[in-house]
Amino acid sequence: MPAFKIPEAEFVLSCPDITHAPKRPLPEIAFAGRSNVGKSSLINSLLNRQRLALTSRTPGKTRLLNYFLIGRGLCYFVDLPGYGFARVPGATKAEWAETVEGYLRDSTRLESVVLLLDIRHGLTALDEQMVDALSTYHRRWLAVLTKADKLSVAARDQRAREMFGLLASRGAQAVLIYSSLHHHGREALWQKIMDALE
């Protein structure tokens, strides 16, 4: 098999709901997870770009659906608003739920959701809510355990084994380990994305 070539990517637009989404009928892969879990870093790593998706030390800032065009028409990546940032006031939390749940409910081209989980923290209560929403709206999803470089190889494998059964029982189609710092897991995740787009 020839070496995998990372597709080109460009930011398209941000919007609060799918009525304002890009009109091109392309399949979508969405990325979800807690604020600060490493969503923007993962998207940048996948696309081999430094700053395509904004990474920030100030979590909770992105409240919109962010669309990226991948491979000039292969698909859209949709960066969903991060959840669970304590300092976000109640009204904004409701806004978040509306944006994310509305997207999961209404999108007609969503092929798979990549749910990011910090490998050190496992499945938190808020992640559980997200998993519930994915199952409510019958969405296919896979889990990516991020920031793997923060653990030793032994601890990382141990965590992955623990999480695998739990996530599979909750409906995850795959569980992958990732480090955006080292691009560890990149080819495996691309393979899953390509499978989802088939």
**Which tokens hold the place of 111?**
């092929």
Question: Do residues 9 and 57 touch, judged by C-beta distance below 8 A?
Answer: no
Residue 149: name its binding partner from ligand GDP, Mg ion, none (Cβ under 5 to 8 Å by kind).
ligand GDP
Candidate list 18, 31, 40, 143; residue touching Mg ion; CB under 5 A: 40
4-32: b (≥16 Cβ within 10 Å) or e: eebbebeebeebeebeebbeeebebbbbb
Question: Roughly what angle, to the nearest 10 degrees, separates helices 39-46 and 186-197?
Answer: 80
Question: Do residues 36 and 82 touch, judged by C-beta distance below 8 A?
Answer: yes
45 touches Mg ion by CB under 5 A: no
Nearer to Mg ion, 38 or 185 (CB): 38
Where does this chain bind ligand GDP (CB under 6 A)? 33, 35-41, 55-57, 59, 82, 146-147, 149-150, 179-181
Question: Do residues 100 and 129 touch, judged by C-beta distance below 8 A?
Answer: no
Residue 193: name its binding partner from Mg ion, ligand GDP, none (Cβ under 5 to 8 Å by kind).
none
Q: How far is the CB of 67 from Mg ion (least distance, A)?
A: 14
Q: Which residue is nearest to ligand GDP (CB)?
A: 38
41 touches Mg ion by CB under 5 A: no
Which residues here bind Mg ion, judged by CB under 5 A? 39-40
